[in-house]
Amino acid sequence: MKKILLLFVLSVSLLKASADEGMWLPMLLGEQVYADMVKKGLKLTKDQLYSINKSSLKDAILIFAGGCTGEIVSDQGLIFTNHHCGYSVIAGSSTVEHNYLQDGFFAYNRDQEIKSTISVVFLDRIVDVTKEVEDGVKGLAWDDRVKKIPDVYKAITEKVADKENGLSGRIYSMFKGNQYIMYVYKTYRDVRLVGAPPESVGKFGGDTDNWEWPRHTGDFSVFRVYGTKDGKPADYSADNVPLKPKHFLPVSIKGFKDGDFAMIYGYPGGTNRYETSYGIKLKNEIENPSLVAMRDIRLKLMFEQMIKDPAVKLKLANSYASIANYWKFFDGETKQLIKYHIYDEKQAFEQAFTSWAKGKPQYENIFADYAKNYATWTPYSKMRQYLNEGIMGSPLTAFATSFIPLEDKLLKNGTSAADIKKSTDALTASRKDFLANEDLVSDEKILAATCMAFYNDIDKSQHPIGFYESLRSNYGDLKDESTYKKWAHDVFSKTMILDDAKWNAFMAQPDAATLQADPAFNYSGGFLKNYNTKYSSLFQAFNVKNAELGRSYMKGIMEKDPAAVKKMYPDANFSMRVSYGNVKSYNPRDAVHYDYECTGKGILEKYVKGDYEFDLPVKLIDLFKKKDFGQYIDKARNDLVVSFITTNDITGGNSGSPVLDAYGNLLGLAFDGNYEALSHKIAFDKDLNRTICVDVRYVLWCIDKLGGAKNIINELKLVK
């Protein structure tokens, strides 16, 4: 009985999006979910949601800096996104003297805006290119199809590319290769920092509160996009002017209540809602714990130095934040996958699929083949994680791998001097960036600790040949930490990467023998080549086979329940999606209720003077105490609402996404997911999944009252 019930629930949750699950393709909203959106409260027409001819909501949404979402909020190209999305620009523009990361920054006029090297990308239109792609690979066996696909993509996207106007096409495989959709993008390259709150506001709660609700983080930053006078993309120039957007979002300071409609546009990076039980097992038993163990080591050693020295803090801040973010994510993901028995659910679903598939040659062996494929790769999975997350987690080691192409050229007969110079020039340029962010003390310790962890935890047959033996004969017992420390110290004092004189001498006359004798290159090249020569083809074969099986599995699922296909959405893959749902409180566990919004009162409750994560600007405390909330006040609470939660289905990449009301006005910015639903990439939990959003009233209060930047507020179209 229980099993049947489980299967029923599963067939609903896997096939049709239930509750507020679903990352919908913007151009299909009208066909797929519009009626339901209206039922839930939407007050816009289909054309206002997405149109290629008229301006629509999609025109205000952009890809921010390659991995986040941003939105246009004024007719002068003003952009809102998260603080953690602008973080590298904010930290990179800061010095110990002008510490914008620590103190915040606001441009009070255009001249004060700070140029950056990031770009923003608008969506021009979406085209279904399934037929063209399939025609291009017709009749090919799977392996050949995989090889041919990049060329087929290229031929299709070349037709829409238009350099002068910044247009380019990108093709996305949807439903695991059962459909191909091209997004045509317009990229703007002159993007300037306009403002950010102090880090104590923008990252309030730090990694302790990250991925958690209740939450009191002012996670926003402000940028502006510029183009030529006729609106074309251009490199930075003083002559460029703020872009006149096709659409910008009005900003609502009216507030909302529990249950109100909320919708989110953005660029969710990746989900795997049709992951198999095999994938979950590998993830839970090997991939996630290995990643977490390696990141534990690195984070601890970085943090030790960061709290000692503000200059080190600035150097490492961005990399620390991104390592910590997914360290906590993957740890929590496995905990939740186990807690919610997702493995068992998937197995039950797969058994039902296999029963259905009996006698259908296309489908009946899928899961037997999955079993074989996973069994072949699994013995190497831990080694791969230790290599990527441990060995290459030393910045020096990772940088040293960039010498491999030069080594190849030096070893090859007849490489021209010009060709070699191209490589050495590039290395000299990238060394500068590397050194700017390099903290020697933490890196040397990371090198020693990760090298030792690899020795201890990875099967000896997978070690690079000879490396640990030579370490033992030169430095001592491999069970002894001090062996690795002595060795790491030698690497750091002898490598040319950290020695200008040696570097210059080598670059003037590069030769393979000197390069191979460099201890940093020798180590990093040795580990990487060990992987590349023995294991990378296995990993590739594993992925290619999984992709083939995944495509058939997906096709089978659709065939099994054709009626459900109309209501299916493809996995997230960093193409624009729309999610709709409600503002909504929840019960995370027995007897506990979480309210749908957090307030200023809660900020003061969490405040710890001088704390690394819970400190606050004195000015903020003063203003809060005076209840100086201006027009941003929530009257019912006589306080500021700083954040809220919704039932929207989003994931990493959606950071910075606009949270919109029924009329398309901006209510806030999505910036996180909740701990109870960290399994969301694989299974959406209809009761517990929440998106955490910073309230736009708090954003505006920070800009106006805390930052004094009325000029920014004056640009917005406020809905009161």
Return the range that interacts with ligand ARG (CB under 6 A); candidates 115-123, 246-254, 321-329, 404-412: 321-329
Task: Among 93, 200, 210, 240, indicate the residue that binds ligand ARG (CB under 6 A).
Answer: 210
Whether 679 sits among the annotated catalytic residues: the reply is no
Binding positions for ligand ARG, 367-406, rule CB under 6 A: none
Binding window for ligand ARG (CB under 6 A); candidates: 55-63, 319-327, 466-474, 622-630: 319-327
Segment near ligand ARG (CB under 6 A); pick from 107-115, 275-283, 317-325, 375-383 = 317-325
| Residues 621, 45: Cα–Cα separation, whole Å | 43
Q: How far is the CB of 207 from ligand ARG (least distance, A)?
A: 5
Q: Which of 124, 219, 639, 685 is catalytic?
A: 219
- Of residues 643 through 662, those in contact with ligand ARG by CB under 6 A are 652, 655
Minimum CB distance to ligand ARG smaller for 206 or for 588: 206
Asked if 207 touches ligand ARG (CB under 6 A), the answer is yes
Select from 488, 475, 477 the least CA-distant residue to 448.
488
Among 17, 62, 317, 324, binds ligand ARG (CB under 6 A): 324
Q: Prior bond to 379 cis, omega within 30?
A: no
Gyration radius of the chain's alpha carbons: 27
How many CB atoms are closer than 10 A to CB 631? 12
Comparing CB distances to ligand ARG, the nearer of 526 and 652 is: 652
At position 33, the amino acid (one-letter code) is: V
Binding marks (x or -) toward ligand ARG, 34..73, rule CB under 6 A? ----------------------------------------
Residue carrying the six token digits 């990093």: 524
Closer to ligand ARG at the Cβ: 581 or 673?
A: 673
Catalytic residue flag (residue 247): no
Tokens coding 638: 């006589």
Shortest distance in whole angstroms from residue 671 CB to ligand ARG: 6
Residues 465-504 that bind ligand ARG (CB under 6 A): none
Cα separation, 56 vs 125, whole angstroms: 11
CB of 333 to ligand ARG, least distance (A): 12
Q: Is the separation of the CB atoms in 251 and 258 below 8 Å?
A: no
For the bound state, the minimum distance from the C-beta of residue 358 to ligand ARG, rounded and expressed in Å, comes to 42
The DSSP element (H or E) to which 81 belongs, if any, is strand 78-81
Nearest approach, Cβ of residue 285 and ligand ARG (Å): 24
Instruction: Give how many residues touch ligand ARG by CB under 6 A.
Output: 13
Catalytic pick among 20, 51, 59, 84: 84
CB of 87 to ligand ARG, least distance (A): 8
User: Taking Cα atoms as reference points, which of 655, 613, 707, 708 lies closest to residue 265?
Assistant: 655
Encoded tokens for 381: 């999975």
CB of 393 to ligand ARG, least distance (A): 17
Binding residue for ligand ARG, selected from 60, 64, 70, 84, defined by CB under 6 A: 84
Q: What are phi and psi of 651, to 5 degrees?
A: -155, 180
Pairing of strands 666-673, 592-594: unpaired
Check binding of 203 to ligand ARG (CB under 6 A): yes
Q: Name residue 104's amino acid.
A: G
Q: Which of residues 325-344 bind ligand ARG (CB under 6 A)?
A: 325
How would you classify the pairing of strands 718-719 and 251-252? parallel
User: Rounded CA gap, 286 and 278, in Å?
Assistant: 12
Q: Phi-psi region for residue 611, left (φ > 0), alpha (ψ -120 to 50) or beta?
A: beta
Does 599 engage in binding with ligand ARG (CB under 6 A)?
A: no
Q: Which of 683/692 has CB closer to ligand ARG?
A: 692
Q: Which residue of 100, 105, 211, 267 would you call a contact of ligand ARG, by CB under 6 A?
A: 211
Residue placing its CB nearer to ligand ARG in the complex, 17 or 670: 670
Of 47 and 613, which CB lies nearer to ligand ARG in the complex structure? 613
In angstroms, the CA 120 to CA 116 distance is 11
Stretch that binds ligand ARG, among 161-169, 320-328, 383-391, 486-494 (CB under 6 A): 320-328
**Residue 405 region by backbone torsions, left for phi larger than 0, else alpha for psi between -120 and 50, else beta:** alpha
The least distance separating ligand ARG from the CB of residue 239, rounded to whole angstroms, comes to 35
| Stretch in the footprint of ligand ARG (CB under 6 A) among 15-23, 200-208, 414-422, 539-547 | 200-208
For the beta carbon of residue 275, count every other beta carbon within 10 angstroms: 18
Beta-carbon contacts of residue 553 (< 8 Å; ≥ 6 apart): 176, 274, 276, 353, 363, 366
| 638 CB-near residues (< 8 Å, 6+ apart) | 627
Q: Please, which of residues 133-192 interact with ligand ARG by CB under 6 A?
A: none
Among positions 321, 352, 478, 621, the unique one binding ligand ARG when judged by CB under 6 A: 321
Find the shortest distance in angstroms from Cβ 327 to ligand ARG. Answer: 9
CB nearer to ligand ARG: give 84 or 192.
84
Quote the CA–CA distance of 470 and 707 in Å, as a whole number: 58
Of 325 and 543, CB closest to ligand ARG: 325
State how far the Cα of 609 lies from the Cα of 657, in Å rounded to an integer. 31
**Amino acid identity of 589?**
R
> DSSP string of 571-591?
PP-SS-EEEEEEB--EEEETT
Closer by beta carbon to ligand ARG, 209 or else 345: 209
Tokens of 689: 């999944």
What is the rounded CA–CA span in Å between residue 257 and residue 368?
A: 50
Comparing CB distances to ligand ARG, the nearer of 169 and 268 is 268
Choose, from 655, 657, 661, 695, the residue flagged as catalytic: 655
Residue in the block written with tokens 């920070």: 702
Q: Is 489 a catalytic residue?
A: no
Beta-carbon contacts of 492 under 8 Å, excluding residues fewer than 6 positions away, are: 396, 440, 443, 444, 447, 498
d(CA 393, CA 383): 14
User: Which amino acids are annotated catalytic?
Assistant: 84, 219, 655
Residues forming contacts to ligand ARG in the complex (CB under 6 A) are 84, 203, 206-207, 210-211, 321, 324-325, 652, 655, 671-672
